[in-house]
Amino acid sequence: MKKKILILGGGYSKERSISLKSSKAIIKSINKLYKVKFCDPCIDFLKTVKSFKPDVIFNALHGRFGEDGYIQTILETLGIKYTHSGVISSMLAMDKEISKKIFIKNKILTPKYMKIKNDLKHINFKRIESYLNYPLVIKPINEGSSLDVYICKNKSSLSYNLKRMKSYNDILIEKFIPGREIQVAIMGNKILGAIELRPKREFYDYKAKYNSNAKTKHLIPVNISKKNHKKVNEIALKAHKLLKCRGITRSDFRFYENKFYLLEINTQPGMTDLSLVPEVAAYRGIDFRSLIIWMIEDASKKR
């Protein structure tokens, strides 16, 4: 009898469209191997779960409510096995300030930062500028896919971009680190591998990630020394274990002046045709279908 797999996709976050693409690719790859059903949690979520009675839920949601511990809490309450990290790990990874504190405490290099309330009437620009020199990066505390991330080169661009982010209460401001963009995938508690990105845009933002016309170069293997390759892989694995992550994670780094700066760890990387983890897996001889099967079987072992 085939296992019943419920694919969660869509959702409430700004990454809804990416989640739907991930879901579509996942379903296409496994629909002959399992009894598969798609569910958008915006529509009759509990009713679908209770009627379908899945063996495993493949959580293909991205962003808030999908990878921040929210949906994981519901699934834990329902007693259903699901892919990716658990409640606490998801919450810690999604909160960029908390995860940075964990990195710093455990001697993992990350860009210098501060958190502010996004209230333009009361923002102390002098305090920001005295602590962090331009250029700066501003981003929401808890969004993914580089959504609403801006590089600010002076006070006017900082003020302008903060206005664009008025829907967010908490903003993370960090020192912009130039250099190379390198990302590392972890599979279980093992290193899957690294990939370097060379976007045509100023950095690997949302458009560079998901617009096929953005012409970002993906380079595997990464052209760095064996020593540095080992180092960045080990930092990613350390971060994965520190947050007690499960399944697949992807850690994003900047490599500058022979140092790796960990920007963040993603507990639910994209699974679209432009996504990085499937590309790294393919380089290691693991095709997309095998990767998805591994994730389902890994989830089946939990509890």
Tens place of pLDDT per residue across the chain (303 aa)? 889 999 999 988 888 999 999 999 999 999 999 999 999 999 889 999 999 999 999 999 998 899 999 999 999 999 999 999 999 999 999 999 999 999 999 999 999 999 998 887 788 899 999 999 999 999 988 876 567 899 999 999 999 999 998 888 889 999 999 999 999 999 999 999 999 999 875 654 445 444 555 578 999 999 999 999 999 999 999 999 999 999 999 999 999 999 999 999 999 999 987 799 999 999 999 999 999 999 999 999 865
Asked which of 123, 153, 175 is the last residue of a domain, the reply is 175
CATH code where residue 62 lies: 3.40.50.20
Work out how many domains the chain is built from and give that number. Answer: 3
Are 110 and 261 contacting, i.e. CB atoms less than 8 angstroms apart?
A: yes
Asked which of 138, 153, 175 is the last residue of a domain, the reply is 175
How far apart CA 38 and CA 4 sit, in angstroms, is 11
Look up 67 and say whether it is catalytic: no
- The catalytic residue among 22, 145, 251, 275 is 145
Phi, psi (deg, nearest 5) at residue 154: -160, 180
How far apart CA 144 and CA 27 sit, in angstroms, is 23
From 106, 66, 60, select the one nearest 243 (Cα to Cα). 106
Asked which of 131, 153, 175 is the last residue of a domain, the reply is 175
Which residues form the domain of 120? 113-175
CATH code where residue 136 lies: 3.30.1490.20
pTM above 0.85, yes or no: yes
Query: What does the pLDDT read at residue 199?
Result: 83
Look up 145 and say whether it is catalytic: yes
Query: What does the pLDDT read at residue 121?
Result: 77
Look up 11 and say whether it is catalytic: no
- Chain CA centroid to CA 129, Å: 29
Query: What does the pLDDT read at residue 26?
Result: 96
- Work out the angle between the directed axes of helices 226-242 and 96-105 (0-180°, nearest 10): 120
- Chain CA centroid to CA 141, Å: 13
- The catalytic residue among 150, 204, 210, 261 is 210
